[in-house]
Amino acid sequence: MAAEDPSVSGVSGRYATALFELARDENSVDAVRADLDKFEAMLNESADLKRLVRSPVFAADQQLKALGAVLDKAGIVGTSAKFLKVLTANRRLFAVADVIRAYRALVAKFKGEATAEVTVAEQLNEKNLDALKSALKSVTGKDVALNVKVDPSIIGGLVVKLGSRMVDSSLRTKLNSIKHAMKEAG
């Protein structure tokens, strides 16, 4: 399965594939995805956790002890917690973001979902997220999972990347187009 999907390769792909197959066998694919999403959100919010994950300075046992405390506090248990501890024990915790991305790709493929990378200037509310999902579902014919990234530099609008297709309706791009057209006209 990993070889079929270019986003699921290398070390992170092997770990994600192993986790996915275990979760599928245990009927816990969604629970593991929820735990990994929670861990990723914590990682994005905490500079200390990022440092723990990425820094080679920490010994494996120190990393494992600290990670155990983080997982307990977050309520991440079972297969997800064991998996993150195995990553740590094998000195591969630095690759956790890539493993999570690869796991999501495997789940999406398993469920027949598509995943869209969406960049917005400010966080969308649930109503707008649902409207965007509906619009993308009508185009693709599949349920679409959204990976939303906030980037204030696009000023407004949004950029949607779905597979090999990209739609850039950001205000920054429109302003650059106008600026370019005015330079050519002058």
pLDDT digits (tens, 9 = 90+) for 65-84: 999 999 999 999 999 999 99
Write b or e for each residue in 76-101: b if 16 or more Cβ atoms lie within 10 A of its Cβ, otherwise e.
beebbbebbbebbeeebbebbbbbbb
Res. 31: pLDDT tops 60: yes
Confidence of residue 2 (pLDDT cuts 50, 70, 90): very low
pLDDT at position 114, please?
Answer: 87
Counting the structural domains of the chain, the total is 2
Q: How far apart are CA 168 and CA 159, in angstroms?
A: 4
Shared domain for 46 and 95, answered yes or no, is: yes
Domain range for 162 is 113-185
Q: How far apart are CA 143 and CA 108, in angstroms?
A: 9
Confidence of residue 105 (pLDDT cuts 50, 70, 90): confident
Shared domain for 97 and 152, answered yes or no, is: no
Task: Residue 70: give its domain's CATH number.
Answer: 1.10.520.20
Shared domain for 87 and 162, answered yes or no, is: no
Shared domain for 20 and 62, answered yes or no, is: yes
Candidates 116, 118, 107, 111; CA nearest to 163 is: 116
- What single-letter amino acid sits at 87? L
Check if the beta carbon of residue 146 is closer than 8 Å to that of residue 118. yes
pLDDT average, residue stretch 144-149: 86
Q: How far apart are CA 24 and CA 37, in angstroms?
A: 17
Res. 1: pLDDT tops 60: no
Shared domain for 11 and 96, answered yes or no, is: yes
Coil, strand or helix at 144: strand
Shared domain for 78 and 153, answered yes or no, is: no
Check if the beta carbon of residue 59 is closer than 8 Å to that of residue 84. no
Two tokens, residue 29: 């694919």
Q: How far apart are CA 146 and CA 37, in angstroms?
A: 12
Shared domain for 91 and 135, answered yes or no, is: no
Shared domain for 81 and 45, answered yes or no, is: yes
Task: Residue 123: give its domain's CATH number.
Answer: 3.40.30
pLDDT in tens, 152-177: 999 999 999 988 889 999 999 999 99
Check if the beta carbon of residue 13 is closer than 8 Å to that of residue 2. yes
Shared domain for 131 and 99, answered yes or no, is: no
Shared domain for 9 and 86, answered yes or no, is: yes
pLDDT average, residue stretch 106-116: 88
